[in-house]
Amino acid sequence: MATNFYKEDHQILTMNTSKTFSLNPSIFKLVFLMSFLMIAPILVAQEKSSEKSEIPLSWHLTNNPEIGFKINGAIQFWSRYTQWNPDSMDDKGHLRSSAYDVSVRRFRFNGTLNVTENFKFYAQVGENNFNQSGQDIPIPKILDLYAEAKITPFMKFGFGKSTWDGLSRYTAPSTLSMLTADLPIIAQPTLNITDDVTRNFGMFIHGDIGKANYRFAFIDPYDYGISGATPKQPGENRAEFTQGELNPQFTAYLKYDLLEKENNNSPNFVGTYLGKHRYLSLGAGMKYQNNAMQYLQEGDLRETDLKLWAADIFWEQPVDVGIGQALTAYSAWYHYDMGPNYLRMVGVNNPAFGIDSGSSQINGKGNAFPMIGTGNAYHLQLGLMLGSAYYDSFFDNFQLYASGQWSNFEALGETVDSYNAGINWYLNGQRSKITIDVQNRPVFSGVGSSAVQSERKWMVVLQYQFKLN
């Protein structure tokens, strides 16, 4: 059997050739969470999201409302059914074809201190992916810690650890206001390799000039020892991130608003405004790192640069189409040069523990599939806010969405296409939200560019989000 270079890093557990599907505690957790979600609407008034008042979690140091301290926090629970990739194994080393699980996708707690109108501190703690195959005790860590000063009416300067990043709109997403249940990973090509949960140490400037918005960042990337990623060895004509000295990253994103001017004082871009604004934003960005990648050529180690480009468009428009009151759309194109045949498998909040070492599929364990690589990718999101803007309806707080990603990676012989569809139920705007998301993903088998899609798998996620403010 040929060596499989593209699998996720995993621990090989004792193999059991008989496939089993046994009841486990996750099912009881699933029942408990679903019961809670069924009574949640009774506890929350079903008014229009626009009529909600914010929870007063701020203290002002002066009579100026712009000066003071504000806290916030959020948590996202997942209850999920997943068809596992072939030859994936559970914690006992048994082969499993599917499983139910309950996890915490994210939790956050943050505070903002505005010392003056021109100077602020921001700090946030939290963590991602608390499930049975990873951490089972949520121990928060410092995610963000930075200071920012207003230099001119058109420029702010900051430094520290933050999500101030370039490349594309959802390279720095607001994960608590996404249209879809989760963010598009293609927009985070260095996730948890040279960054920490999309956070970076560095310096940044940003600002607005008329309807144009810009951001530039100088980033000191993480190395493997700090990020926790498992180093991968480069192969013949197959690139991986360098294990040598790391050079700085330079990144930028420029955006122009054709309709209303979007508020971009936060580093994180909103995914949907629930039809409250008219936005049409065109954006373009890049990221560059000298000698970030390495590969073998006729046995000799070579280095090459990380060169990433993206362009996108975001549109949200209140409408009256009978069954809907607002449309949301996002489209992005990515061109990644990450060295010859670079390919990365990602399994979001992966529920599996390992994979049989003799497997012929290259996705890796659990729900992983090819998400990032050298080549071109296209991502699309569409959303429809149901109900009417003119009269109250039960459907006012529901939003349908669909998304897809189509990727032509140099390392594979076929296009990678994945699809998601779902519905958001806003119990209190983004502060209390239930989402049901269905994903269909490909499984690839084979070696190198001869790898082709062999089958497809499903995943269904029930998410509940609670946010303080």
Question: Per-10-residue mean pLDDT for the chain, 469 residues long?
Answer: 43 32 41 43 39 52 76 96 96 94 94 92 94 71 96 96 97 96 96 93 97 98 78 92 93 98 95 95 98 95 97 95 91 98 96 91 96 98 88 86 98 95 96 97 89 95 94
* Of the candidates 367, 359, 355, 356, the residue with the CA atom closest to the CA atom of residue 83: 367
pLDDT at 389: 67
Contact status, residue 420 vs residue 438, Cβ threshold 8 Å: yes
Domain assignment present for residue 19? The answer is: no
Place of tokens 């720095």: 172
Both tokens assigned to 15? 């193999």
Please name the helix (run of DSSP H) or strand (run of DSSP E) that holds residue 25, with its range, or none: helix 25-43
Task: Kindly give, in sequence order, each residue whose CB lies less than 8 Å from that of residue 443, ignoring residues fewer than 6 positions away.
Answer: 85, 86, 361, 363, 369, 453, 454, 455, 456, 457
* Domain assignment of residue 316, yes or no: yes
What span, in angstroms and rounded, lies between the C-alpha atoms of 76 and 324?
27
Query: Where is 227: in which H helix or E strand?
Result: helix 224-227
Residue 153: the pLDDT is 94
Residue 247 sits in which domain range?
138-345+364-467
Q: Please state, in angstroms and rounded to a whole number, the distance separating the CA atoms of residues 11 and 194.
A: 22
User: Does 237 reside within a domain?
Assistant: yes
Cα separation, 84 vs 288, in Å, equals 35
Q: What is the reported pLDDT for 136? A: 56
| Residues pairing with 196 in the sheet | 199
225 sits in which H/E element: helix 224-227
Look at residue 382 in the predicted model and tell me its pLDDT: 98
CATH number at residue 412: 2.40.160
Tell me, what's the pLDDT at 376?
98
Residue 64: Cβ-neighbour burial (10 angstroms; 0-12, 13-18, 19+): exposed
pTM value? 0.86
State residue 61's pLDDT score: 62
- Tell whether 38 is covered by a domain: no
228 occurs within a structural domain: yes
304 beta partners: 293
Structurally, the chain folds into a number of domains equal to 1
Which residues does 28 contact at the CB level (< 8 Å), separation at least 6? none
Q: Compute the C-alpha angle 206/287/162, nearest 5°.
A: 50
- Residues 25-60 as b/e (b if ≥16 CB within 10 A, e otherwise) read ebeebbeebeeebeebeeeeeeeebeebeeeeebee
Q: Does residue 20 lie within any of the structural domains?
A: no
CB 376 within 8 A of CB 274: no
pLDDT of residue 230: 75
Q: Is residue 250 part of a domain?
A: yes
* 213 within some domain: yes
Tokens of 396: 């006012």
Question: Which residues on neighbouring strands pair with residue 89, listed in sequence order?
Answer: 95, 354
